[in-house]
A = this chain, B = another copy of it.
Amino acid sequence: MSPQDRLPLVEAMRTAIAASTAVLGTTSPNPPVGAVILDVDGVVVGVGATQPAGGPHAEVMALREAGEKARGGCAVVTLEPCNHTGRTPPCVDGLLAAGVAEVHFAVADPNPKAAGGADRLRAHGVEVGSGLLEEQVRRGPLRAWLHYARTGRPHVTWKYAATLDGRVAAADSTSRWISSPESRAEVHQLRRQADAIMVGRGTVLADDPELTARAEDGSLADRQPLRVVVGAGDLPVGARVRNDLAETLHLRTHEPKMVLAELAARGVVDVLLEGGPRLAGAFVAAGLVDRVLLYLAPGLLGAGPAALAEAGVGTIADTVRLQFEEVGMSGPDVRISAVFPR
């Protein structure tokens, strides 16, 4: 294939990222990977993404679509193709059998059992490139899974909405709505992409949230995350979180490590922690919040609860320090993402 005829690899990687983003929340504990096959002329002949656990990986899906057109072509994948037989055969075998001449991936596989894919491809004469749009993939669709692969713990995003003066509710506890419709729609999309949404039992008692993912028209999204309520004591029989619109798990402990171990055992990789302040404080104090996602609304209240309580910090020198990763607008609100320095 001549370079000038060829669909740029970066475009193909963007397509692979989009394919992986579309399956977020459906693949755990497997990584949500996207793959694109270009034929010998650089034309897209296959696009695939990881299927639910036990199903085919992204490369296999894309190769199936490409069929014989993959021969002599190029595979563009968000994660290094695996060299490991789990519930499915190694993706490297599939790529070699299909006769692709080149493989480009964004992120190397951090899993020692699955790694070695690049080396084995090279040993079979395949040209291999890595690092294409790597940061975009690391911070995007593979963020939670890479954390899980490194630590064995689910990735926790603490999400909240607050006013400019840091309140998450008014003096009379009303909080609907602090943030804009645009921000709430984003959060429903985040819920749809997460494996689990977590709240404390106190939040269930106080606000009776349903914790479902909904579309902008109010209809239920096509998939629902696991609803997780933590804390001793029963949940009220009529609590909305007990309805049959989604699965619910009640863990009778607040202890962050135990909670995450339970969730990991159930194949949960990506958790959205939605409150309340004491549960968030316990996770922050335990060092088990990995990302803070704040929807900051352009309002002032002057009274009402703060987002975070009892995080174990007594003096300014002990401030829990993060760094801003992304700042943008969400309708009239500011969306702020902060993570811990690596």
Q: Is the CB of B164 within 8 A of A322?
A: yes
Q: By the criterion CB–CB under 8 Å, are A171 and B300 in contact? A: no
Could you list 19 further interchain pairs (A-B, Cβ under 8 angstroms) beyond the known A164-B294, A164-B336? A163-B319, A164-B338, A169-B316, A170-B313, A170-B314, A171-B314, A171-B315, A174-B316, A175-B316, A178-B319, A284-B302, A299-B319, A300-B313, A300-B322, A301-B311, A301-B313, A302-B309, A302-B312, A323-B332
| A172/B302 contact (C-beta < 8 A), A294-B164, A329-B324, A332-B324 known | no
Partner of A308, one of B175, B292, B300, B317: B300
Copies in the complex: 2
Q: Is the CB of B334 within 8 A of A327?
A: yes
The residue that A323 contacts in the complex, of B174, B176, B298, with Cβ under 8 A, is: B298
The closest CB in chain B to the CB of A309 belongs to B302
Of A306, A315, A319, most B-chain CB atoms within 10 Å:
A319
Please give me the residue from chain B that is nearest to A176 by CB atom. Answer: B316
Whether B334 lies near A170 (C-beta < 8 A) is no
Which of B176, B294, B299, B313 is within 8 Å of A320, CB to CB?
B299
Q: How many residues of A contact B (CB 8 A)?
A: 54
Q: In the assembly, what is the distance between CA of A318 and CA of B169, in Å?
A: 12
Instruction: Evaluate contact between B315 and A174: CB separation under 8 angstroms.
Output: yes
Contact of A298 with B324 at beta-carbon distance under 8 Å, contacts A306-B166, A316-B169, A336-B334 already known: yes
The reply on A281 being an interface residue by CB < 8 A is yes
CB distance from A306 to the nearest CB of B (A): 5
The chain B residue with its CB closest to the CB of A285 is B302
* A82, chain B: closest CB distance, angstroms: 36
Per-residue B-contact encoding for A319-342, CB less than 8 Å = 1, 0 else: 111111001010011101010000
Closest B residue to A284 by beta carbon equals B300
**Binary interface profile of A, 155-181, with partner B (CB < 8 Å = 1, else 0)?**
000000011111101111011111000
A310 close to B (CB within 8 Å) = yes
Nearest CB of chain B from residue A55's CB, rounded to whole Å? 39
The answer, yes or no, to whether A303 is at the interface (CB within 8 Å) is yes
CB–CB B166/A162 < 8 A: yes
* Cβ-defined contact, A324 with B334, below 8 A: yes
> When the two chains form their complex, are residues B308 and A165 in contact, meaning their CB atoms are under 8 A apart?
yes
Check if B178 sits within 8 Å of A316, measured CB to CB.
yes
CA distance A298 to B171 in the complex (A): 26
Nearest neighbor of A178 in chain B, beta-carbon distance: B316
